[in-house]
A and B are shown apart, each in its own frame.
Chain A
Amino acid sequence: MTRTGELAIDVCGLRKVYRGRREVVAVAELDLQVERGEVFGLLGPNGAGKTTTVEICEGLVEPTAGDVRILGRRWSDDPRAIRQRIGVSLQETRPDARYGQLSGGQRQRLAVATALAGRPELLFLDEPTTGLDPQSRRSLWEVVRSFRAAGGTVLLTTHYMDEAAVLCDRLMIVDHGRQIALGTPRELIASLGAGHVVELEAAGLAGRVDLGRVAGTEGVVECELVGDRLVATVERPHRVVPDLLRIVEATGLPLDGLATRHTSLEDVFVHLTGRHLRDGQEAS
């Protein structure tokens, strides 16, 4: 056994370049420290380098540069000793003939079950719930939670912000092969500087509203137009909403909808990466 307090995953200065006709930098520069006993999430758009990073940690891909220690050991030292202590559920690619009759949810649960079969200390889950229905996702979350409760460590990648928020102790958001944010879900949301989002919708709003006036309103941290929807990140919605309503009223357009909600991880993600998360094939 490794000493207590030792990191489950300790990656320093990681870099991975795929050479070919066109050079592809999958991981530009990355440090990753995962404590024992935590569920750590890697988030990022398609092609951000998540899967490459996970596969390097799993010993499936050789890094171009950087030091990788898994449970205190390097892959070059004793791969079998590491393999005996980790469990891996690979990203699902296509149905296998043998268990083609199983549904997507059953297949993913089977994949995670095989990853858990060797009683691992460290579990790698690459997009474990992609393509699953809500019930299957929740039952997989339960598996991860009970594994963590028994002292296990998890590194997972996901496209789902709600999943990351409820499942992960800490998160790293990566894009273009670099870390762009690191922290607990709460810390990341707080980093936006405001806790609420107000959305006002009116047909034809896009051409009529004065976005500069919205941005200048006291209490508005950030604002943008998404179609005919005005989306503002604010600190105290009860103070700001009347002002925003007056601005929309001034356009003479009838208001079609008003909604307020807490800022979510997805807001953080879109703010940081500038792209919406897409569910689908991973390029990396």
Chain B
Amino acid sequence: MRARVLREVGAMALRDYLRTPDAVFWTYGFPLIMALVLGLAFGERGAQPSRVAVVAGAEVLHAQLEPVAGDAVQIEIDTAERAQRRLVLGSIDAVLSGSLDAPVVTIDPSRPDAELAELRLESALRRARGELADAVQPRIESVDEPGGRYIDFLLPGLIGINLMGAGIYGVGYNVVQMRVKNLLRRIWVTPVGRVEFLVAFLSSRLLLALLPPFVILAFGMLAFGVPVAPGAWAAIAVLVLAGAAAFSGFGLLLASRARTLETLSGLMNVVMLPMWLCGGAFFSNDRFPAVLQPLVRALPLTWLTDGLRSAMLGATDVLAAWPATALLLAFAAATTTLAGRLFRWA
């Protein structure tokens, strides 16, 4: 082996790495961003109070607990139905019902914070009764029936991620590839108009995006018994359509000017990474600090996953799903219109 050859080929590999912004991003940028975002969501566990909802009807319990709760337990009152749903969605850690003498604590044992919340509640209940020993043990109930498990939380998130990929990748990547391969120019020189082309292309891609969410849903239902509330189907269908439109429009916008696949891939990373992490697909958005909430709530993926999750749990019917639907459709209209303005054939 010749040292000079080894040196030159080695240097070539290093230069190649440094000249690929993508590779540098995925080795340095991505893990650091992951660490930062997940740290924000899961990092300050010790300092965070356990959030507990006392169900309506047990207000007495709330009044009794409030003075002794301290900083470790944050108590609020909610209806039994809503509290149950928030527990499933992960925005609260425990639900408290019953009375001081016969308390019932409901937790989701699959969540890491459940046990801590339970211990803190028990200690608060003891203090409220003024007892030191001979404590009345609260009855502990678990939500582990279908609807409250992580897979039930995850499935709407996966559908959201799927629609985001179908739109941003399926439309964006394909349009830029057609541009790179000169295919767009070949269409440009024909009597086909710009708007005609974009409408036809978007519509066919939209149709393609509609089926996979229902395949994922059917798989979840068959393999894991993920529940879908009866009457939820209309809301799910409307949300899937609106989500597909929103992300197709977004994909088209990203692709409207990009001349190379590298440019597009950079744009897609910037847009998709925050949504993967903060779009409420894999864990609840409520985990982020309050200062970040407006940002997290402004992500289209958040609208879609939250909307789908509520719909599947039967919390929202097709009419109640209108805010998420309207936001997604408005986003679709805005991105598509802007993309139509910015679009370049070559």
Contacts and interface: CB of A to CB of B under 8 A. Distances in A.
A155 B44 CA distance: 71
A60 B191 contact: no
A84 interface: yes
A140 interface: no
Contacts of A94: 181-182
Contact of B346 (A60, A80, A88): A60
A93 B182 contact: yes
B188 A60 contact: yes
Contacts of B181: 94, 96-97
A58 B346 CA distance: 13
B166 to A, nearest CB: 20
A59 B192 CA distance: 13
Contacts of A59: 189
Nearest to B181: A96
Nearest to B188: A60
A60 B189 contact: yes
A90 B186 contact: yes
B189 to A, nearest CB: 4
The main secondary structure of chain B at its interface with chain A is loop
Contact of A58 (B182, B189, B193): B189
B190 A83 contact: yes
A33 interface: no
Given A96-B181, A97-B181, A114 B193 contact: no
A11 to B, nearest CB: 18
Contacts of A90: 182, 185-186, 189
B183 interface: yes
Interface string A81-123: 0011010101001101100000000000000001000100000
Interface in A45-93: 58-60, 80, 83-84, 86, 88, 90, 93
Contacts of B182: 90, 93-94, 96
Interface string B142-186: 000000000000000000000000000000000000000111011
A86 B189 CA distance: 8
Interface residues of B, number: 12
Contacts of A58: 189
B183 A83 contact: no
A118 B191 contact: yes
A183 B191 CA distance: 33
Contact of B191 (A83, A93, A96, A97): A83
B191 A80 contact: yes
A80 B193 contact: yes
A88 B181 CA distance: 16
A91 to B, nearest CB: 9
Contacts of B185: 60, 90
A118 B186 CA distance: 13
A272 B17 CA distance: 47
A96 B189 contact: no
Nearest to B345: A60
A124 B185 CA distance: 14
Name the residue in B182, B186, B189, B193 with the highest tally of chain A Cβ atoms < 10 Å from its Cβ. B189
A64 to B, nearest CB: 17
A118 B189 contact: no
Name the residue in A58, A59, A96 with the highest tally of chain B Cβ atoms < 10 Å from its Cβ. A96
A164 to B, nearest CB: 23
A121 to B, nearest CB: 13
Contacts of A93: 182
A60 to B, nearest CB: 7
Nearest to A90: B185
B53 to A, nearest CB: 56
Contact of B190 (A96, A97, A118): A118
Contacts of B188: 60
A60 B345 CA distance: 9
Contacts of A97: 181
Contacts of A118: 190-191
Nearest to B194: A79
Nearest to B183: A96
Nearest to A96: B181
Contacts of A96: 181-183
A122 to B, nearest CB: 12
A114 B188 CA distance: 13
Contacts of A86: 189
A43 B188 CA distance: 25
A84 B183 contact: no
10 closest A-B pairs by CB: A88-B189, A83-B191, A84-B191, A80-B191, A93-B182, A96-B181, A90-B185, A58-B189, A83-B190, A90-B186
Given A90-B185, A114-B186, 9 more contacts: A59-B189, A60-B189, A83-B191, A88-B189, A90-B182, A94-B182, A96-B182, A96-B183, A118-B190
10 contacts: A59-B189, A60-B189, A80-B191, A80-B193, A83-B189, A83-B190, A86-B189, A94-B182, A97-B181, A114-B186
Interface of A: 58-60, 80, 83-84, 86, 88, 90, 93-94, 96-97, 114, 118
